[in-house]
Amino acid sequence: MGGGRLPLLVANPDVVVVGGGPAGAAAAFWLANAGHSVTLVEKKEFPREKTCGDGITPRAILQLQDLGFDFHVPEFHRVHGLRSYAGDNLKLEMEWPDHSIFPNWGGVIRRADLDHQVAQLVEKQGATIRQRVEAKPVLEDGRMTGVELKHNGEVEVLNPKVVVVADGSLSRFGWSLGTSRRRDYPLGLAARGYFESPRSDDGFLESQLDIRDETGAAMPGYGWVFPLGDGTVNVGVGLLSTFKRWKHVNTSDMMDAYVRSAPDYWELSEESQLTKPRGGKLTMALSVGPLAGPNWVVAGDAAGAINPWNGEGISYAYETGRIAADHVSAALAADDLSLLQRYPQFLQDTYGDYYKMARVFVKAIGQPWVMRTLTHTGLRSKPLMEWVLKVMANLLEPEERSIGEQAYRMLEGIVRTAPRF
């Protein structure tokens, strides 16, 4: 790749993509694949650190397959499913389900490696990538007329026909265009670090479902250990804003408590810790809007596309980036940018019901007794938890009953029949 230097490029490309993560990379790849001139702008230089759990579910695997990703690279560690536990006695291993569309396997790869390797695929499609470049919109009377790029103190302006905004959660570029997050939607808080572990070659992702605050009260979230296969593991905790005192949570303390409570076989300790915890806020459930303007669309975390059921963002970033590319390409082909306004409705048609039920779910588990009931009831029934895994990972078959009905049935059934302990 360009090593951060500004390469020769089309002076005014058809599309500028802001952000080189999964959403931006997918948008740039598929737009270039459709024959459009594309410039992707990334504020850092690949490979760059990115706060993430690094887990790749079957939905993301499918998108990576379509991008031509090489799963045989040493940085990629294949996993077969999810191991969940609560306390000392409740534990289940669940393999990814067989599915007519998605593969039945996942993986773990550091985001620094993933984004770098996908960026190389984007370049091979013919897109230009410019690194260590800050981007902001040029506005005239509230309308974006260009994109200002700043690199090493030098400033230039590109005038693309369309901009894809994909600069991550709490997007600065999007905010400049007038996007905002709905405050009545859930927000996530997560932190992660890397540890050495002798169990780094484990074939399962692992999650602890009964994380607690300093008083011992259950919190709506989970802890995780994701094996990287290289002698290290990604260890983290995630929390939802439906927890009443979530604004007062210290993520470092939460991480320390989780590390102390993790199963001994991981051998996590201060001595095995390789990096300090890094955290961030996660916008969820398509909580951001508007998602399209006269000559721009928003994708991935910048659109609040993270799944509230499990905090997964990579799959939905690749998917929404690809969907954005489809709509931008159609608008350019028709020479009618008003077609961009179909993009937000397409996202609602695709994810709206699923995310609506997720909001119901995360609101319910904000009550400690509901979280305890779901955890202790679910982990005693493998068939139930395998079904829950399909719901939470969005892996239901197309012909199965609507996700809304199934989610309501799951939540109402468990909560109604279980004792309040």
Query: How far apart are the C-alpha atoms of 39 and 175, rounded to whole Å?
Result: 21
Q: What is the pLDDT along the chain (421 residues), one digit of tens a residue?
A: 644 334 335 579 999 999 999 999 999 999 999 999 999 999 999 999 999 999 999 999 999 999 999 999 999 999 999 999 987 778 999 999 999 999 999 999 999 999 999 999 999 999 999 999 999 999 999 899 999 999 999 999 999 999 999 999 999 999 999 999 999 999 999 999 999 999 999 999 999 988 876 667 677 889 999 999 999 999 999 998 887 777 888 888 889 889 998 999 999 999 999 999 999 899 999 999 999 999 999 999 999 999 999 999 999 999 999 999 999 999 999 999 999 999 999 999 999 989 988 888 888 887 777 777 778 788 888 888 888 899 899 998 887 756 556 655 666 565 555 454 4
Q: Are residues 225 and 339 in the same domain?
A: no
Q: Are residues 266 and 200 in the same domain?
A: yes
Q: How many domains does the chain have?
A: 3
Exposure b/e, 108-130, CB count within 10 A at least 16 = b: bbbbbbbbbbbbebbbebebbbb
Q: Are residues 168 and 257 in the same domain?
A: no
Among 333, 354, 375, the domain-final residue is 354
381: containing domain: 366-417
**Is 94 in a helix, a strand, or coil?**
strand
Please answer whether residues 238 and 188 qualify as being in contact, where contact means their C-beta atoms are separated by less than 8 angstroms.
Answer: yes
The answer to whether residue 5 is domain-embedded is no
Query: For residue 261, what are the CA distances in angstroms to 212, 235, 267?
Result: 10, 12, 11
pTM of the model: 0.93
The answer to whether residue 95 is domain-embedded is no
CATH of the domain at 58: 3.50.50.60
Among 237, 264, 281, the domain-final residue is 281
The answer to whether residue 90 is domain-embedded is no
Kindly state the helix (H) or strand (E) to which residue 298 belongs, with its residue range. Answer: strand 296-298
Query: How far apart are the C-alpha atoms of 267 and 119, rounded to whole Å?
Result: 35
Among 281, 313, 337, the domain-final residue is 281
